[in-house]
Amino acid sequence: MDLQTARQQVTELRGLLNQYGYEYYVLDQPSVPDSEYDRLMRELLELEEKFPELKSADSPTERVGGFVLDKFEKVVHEIPLLSLGNAFNEQDLRDFDRRVGQVVGENYSYVCELKIDGLAVSLRYVDGLFVQGSTRGDGTIGEDITFNLKTIKSLPLRLRENVSIEVRGEAFMPKRSFEALNKTKEERGEEPFANPRNAAAGSLRQLDPKIAASRNLDVFLYGIGDIGESGVVSHSEGLDYLDRLGFKTNNERRKCSTIDDVIEFVNSWVERRPHLPYEIDGIVIKVDSLAQQGELGTTAKSPRWAIAYKFPAEEVVTTLLDIELNVGRTGVVTPTAVLEPVKVAGTTVGRASLHNEDLIREKDIRIGDKVVIKKAGDIIPEVVNVIADQRTGKEMEFHMPTHCPECESELVRLEEEVALRCINPKCPAQIREGLIHFVSRDAMNIDGLGEKVISQLFSEKLIVDVADLYKLTTEQLLGLERMGEKSVSNLINAIEASKANSLEKLLFGLGIRHVGAKAAKTLAQAYGTMDKLAAATEDELKMINEIGEKMADSIAAFFKNEEAQELIKELKSAGVNMEYNGPMPVSIEDSDSIFAGKTVVLTGKLERLNRNEAKERIEALGGNVAGSVSKKTDLVIAGEEAGSKLTKAGQLGIEVWDEEKLLEELNK
């Protein structure tokens, strides 16, 4: 067979396979038997193997998973993937409706959709071809999982129109696939996945796409990141447009004219949800008009035009076998219920926090009791109540100890606190938890130093405090379980890199009581260096905006402590940075910057700055960077491929700059 004939056959085979795949995986209306689909796929594979120059990124053969990846690359979302605010009852929904009406008036409607319990993903197409897929991540930066997403057969590799578009959806594992996967894992003696959501996330974060391909994932698309030139003016139109492009959307959606219609739709699914072939954990309600969505805008975390109704938590009965005690980073001793394992909301639960002694007394919880368990927000297990009339008389009352279960120091209850606390600064449990906090993402962000590694280093007495992390050697780490040369090298490099972190990261990592990440940045900006902060008095600290009396007392007490002083000295000797090296805030009153007091929106791709850098520099000059364009927007910065935000700015008559103009003003 010559190349021209082969090309013709390959084109025909791809067309047939794409059509049959769409009918089977999207429409659920197969027109040919599986054997015919498999025969055509084998024929295409053979032709592509014989003529490798005919392979292409949109071929159905791409779905089998080609090669193993070294790592996941980071992807910056041009338009952030915001999380949704939650509603837990009818009143929450009516309050949401009232807030919407106050902004947009009386003429508006909603679209209700099932909230699929999976992994949020972003898909990017250029001229109709799927070029990149990524996880939601923190909403701003995700991970590139393109090759794993290609294995999802309902996800089109080429659209029906040659458009460039970025769309959002939820990748998930159907119940049938989940049950088959766990059966296989159990037969192999492996730990089964807790629920389909974890299974889907774990499958899509495999470096070998063949693993993802074997797990039969699916995806529903629920939105367009940038409407662009599509002419779509409402969310419901956007979903119809996705259908026309060949995407799989969820048909169980309804347009509702009133909040009463919304509540009726929500209630109709409370009982019906177990009969679906996939897991859902609620209903998403969105204002339909895109113009009204823009008018409502967003907060830093979530859109004001959408809300997620979470279904009432499933409640089950089990036996409370024991109560264990855990000592946290700040010395608080927390009782934890040890339960007879029971399945709740899709996962097997064996433990639940009891918070403090007062709660145990209030609910009269005893060891041996039959108890009602639920998951708060379908996530955190908690004991709802005791079934007292099922007591046999063998149940035992629980009393909190007088001494720390880890170090045997006397426990104290500080004024106005319900918790018992160990105040021994050398308590092993507190030190271990403090180390875990120090290396966490929002603190020093030392990649590779997770809870298990920290616990191992601590039990081997290789680290006693955070300064010891900077004394670790390659030889010491190679002696640990499951630590090879490459992972040790990466860990040593990550520890070394953390020395350059700005002061606020270190301050937060030190775990000063009452000092969170935001307060740490405020303090770092106010004093600039560790030495100046350490010398500050309580009265001086209280003069700083957002630093209250409790926090000021706690900070002053920390720096007066001799052990804290010695620790900081050791960190200095290790070369850990003690200065703030981030942008300084400028008050509106003191700033002569053009950004002071203005609301700025960034859109499109910037060449010389990334989005986070631009945001930080604008905010440092007194500006406020928002996620969407509205009447309140003062300025839009438009990079390459700017879409609907730029269009809307033109419609509203908002001033628009390019990147050169932005840099010119920033550099002033």
Helices (H), 188-310: 196-204, 209-213, 235-245, 259-272, 290-296
Is it true that 428-498 and 503-573 share their CATH fold? Answer: yes
Would you state the pLDDT for residue 121?
Answer: 94
Mean pLDDT by 10 residues, the chain (668 residues): 87 88 78 80 87 84 65 85 89 95 94 94 94 88 91 94 93 91 73 80 86 91 82 93 95 96 93 86 95 90 91 86 90 91 81 87 94 72 90 93 90 78 83 91 88 89 92 90 86 94 94 85 91 93 84 90 90 95 64 80 82 78 80 87 78 88 85
Give the separation between CA 154 and CA 247, rounded to whole angstroms.
8
| pTM: predicted TM-score of the whole model, two decimal places | 0.53
Q: Give the CATH H-level superfamily of domain 86-310.
A: DNA ligase/mRNA capping enzyme (3.30.470.30)
Which of the listed CATH numbers 2.60.40.10, 3.40.50.10190, 3.30.110.40, 2.40.50.140 matches domain 599-666? 3.40.50.10190
428-498: which CATH topology?
DNA polymerase; domain 1 (1.10.150)
Would you state the pLDDT for residue 376?
Answer: 59
Domain extent listing, the chain: 3-55, 86-310, 315-397, 428-498, 503-573, 599-666
Give the position of tokens 């059509």.
Answer: 19
DSSP 23: I
> How many CB atoms are closer than 10 A to CB 220?
21
Q: Is 301 in the active site?
A: no
CATH architecture of the domain covering 3-55: Orthogonal Bundle (1.10)
Contacts of 153 (CB under 8 A, 6+ apart): 21, 24, 25, 63
Give the separation between CA 232 and CA 241, rounded to whole angstroms.
8
Helices (H), 273-368: 290-296, 357-363
Give tens-digit pLDDT for 209-252: 888 888 899 999 999 987 766 789 999 999 999 999 999 999 99
Give whole-number Cα distances, 284 to 92, 135, 171, 304, 381, in Å.
13, 20, 16, 13, 23
Give the separation between CA 324 and CA 285, rounded to whole angstroms.
41
Q: Give the CATH H-level superfamily of domain 315-397.
A: Nucleic acid-binding proteins (2.40.50.140)
What CATH code is assigned to 503-573? 1.10.150.20
Kindly name the residue from 55, 71, 74, 115 that is annotated as catalytic.
Answer: 115
Would you state the pLDDT for residue 267?
Answer: 93
